[in-house]
């Protein structure tokens, strides 16, 4: 039995006063329980659009998506919301924490939507989750008092506190330096292994992508399986295009996009 399956999924939008735009084209993808999949692709290739589809936030224009072998289309939108809330955890590049709330309150939030838990029980579950991500000493800290890595840990604790069966991550390390990014990914792996959750990670970083068991590349809305995400080395221009909006050299350097021209040569050789 598959957890999530996409068959010939297409997503077309019709922007105002413009011709129809096909963002995703003939996507076939099966995610098994406990699976670990990475997807790389250029900016604008349709990665986030695909992630929204995997997360049951949007329905395909054509083709079919099944969750637990049941067509997603057959669920009412409220039933889809419940399925998503209980079964899917999202990790984004932006941490999206509620600014006026403590770490503990942020992580408690998703539990308010699951019935049958008392106030104290919810607090206990949230505190345990924060302990799991190494933040037991930061329970009452507000987000603006936490480092980027710590904020992402809180965001991960919040995403995973309901024990999702599918973890969807869209550039989860995009706002973090390399080392912090690696440790955040290790943390997600650890929780996923412990709970048996499947993971889909979207990233432009081949090192992060390589952590997955199966690799895919999205190119202009077409998804292809690749043996290794670093097989087709990216030029610096590709990387710049894929990188999130900022082009601050310091930030790029922190993410490993060196300004040193010899880096491209190193990349081509595959030892970057």
Query: Which positions touch ligand ATP (CB under 6 A)?
Result: 13, 15, 21, 23, 41, 43-49, 242
Q: Is 30 in the site for Mg ion (CB under 5 A)?
A: no
User: Which of 126, 202 has the CB closer to Mg ion?
Assistant: 202
d(CA 37, CA 93): 18
In whole angstroms, how close is the CB of 42 to ligand ATP at the nearest point? 7
Whether the Cβ atoms of residue 148 and residue 180 lie closer than 8 Å to each other: yes
Tokens of 234: 């990216």
DSSP letters, 151-209, are HHHHHHHHHHTT--SEEEEESTTTTS-HHHHHHHHHHHHHHHHHHT-EEEEE-S-HHHH
Tokens of 210: 């390589």
Tokens of 62: 């054509």
User: Which of 21, 79 has the CB closer to ligand ATP?
Assistant: 21
Per CB under 5 A, the segment of 9-17, 43-51, 68-76, 248-256 that binds Mg ion is 43-51
User: Which of 22, 48, 61, 207 touches Mg ion by CB under 5 A?
Assistant: 48
Under DSSP, the state recorded for 137 is: G
In whole angstroms, how close is the CB of 255 to ligand ATP at the nearest point? 14
Tokens of 233: 């080395």
Q: Which does 116 bind (CB under 5 to 8 A by kind): Mg ion, ligand ATP, none?
A: none
User: Which of 47, 122 has the CB closer to ligand ATP?
Assistant: 47
In whole angstroms, how close is the CB of 82 to Mg ion at the nearest point? 26
Q: Is 52 in the site for Mg ion (CB under 5 A)?
A: no
* Residue 147 Rama label (left phi>0; alpha psi -120 to 50; beta): beta
Per CB under 5 A, the segment of 40-48, 64-72, 192-200, 207-215 that binds Mg ion is 40-48
d(CA 42, CA 204): 8
**Binding positions for Mg ion, rule: CB under 5 A:** 47-48
């Amino acid at each position: 039995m598959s957890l999530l399956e996409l068959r010939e999924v297409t997503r077309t939008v019709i922007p105002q006063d413009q011709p129809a735009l096909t963002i995703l084209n003939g996507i076939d993808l099966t995610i098994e329980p406990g699976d670990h999949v990475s997807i790389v692709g250029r900016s604008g290739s349709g990665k986030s659009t695909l992630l929204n589809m995997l997360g049951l936030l949007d329905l395909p224009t054509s083709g079919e998506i099944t969750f637990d072998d049941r067509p997603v289309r057959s669920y009412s939108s409220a039933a889809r919301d419940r399925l998503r809330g209980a079964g899917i955890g999202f990790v984004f590049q932006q941490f999206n924490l509620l600014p006026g709330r403590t770490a503990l309150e942020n992580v408690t939030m998703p539990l308010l939507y699951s019935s049958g838990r008392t106030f104290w029980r919810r607090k206990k579950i949230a505190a345990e989750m924060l302990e799991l991500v190494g933040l037991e000493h930061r329970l009452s800290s507000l987000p603006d008092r936490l480092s980027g890595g710590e904020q992402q840990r809180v965001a991960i604790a919040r995403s995973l506190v309901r024990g999702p069966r599918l973890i969807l991550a869209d550039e989860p390390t995009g706002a973090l330096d390399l080392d912090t990014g690696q440790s955040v990914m290790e943390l997600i792996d650890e929780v996923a292994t412990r709970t048996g959750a499947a993971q889909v990670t979207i990233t432009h970083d081949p090192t992060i992508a390589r952590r997955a068991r199966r690799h895919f590349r999205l190119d202009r809305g077409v998804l292809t399986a690749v043996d290794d995400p670093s097989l087709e080395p990216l030029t610096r221009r590709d990387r710049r295009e894929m990188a999130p909006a900022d082009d601050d050299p310091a930030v790029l350097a922190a993410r490993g996009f060196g300004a040193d021209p010899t880096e491209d040569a190193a990349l081509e050789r595959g030892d970057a």
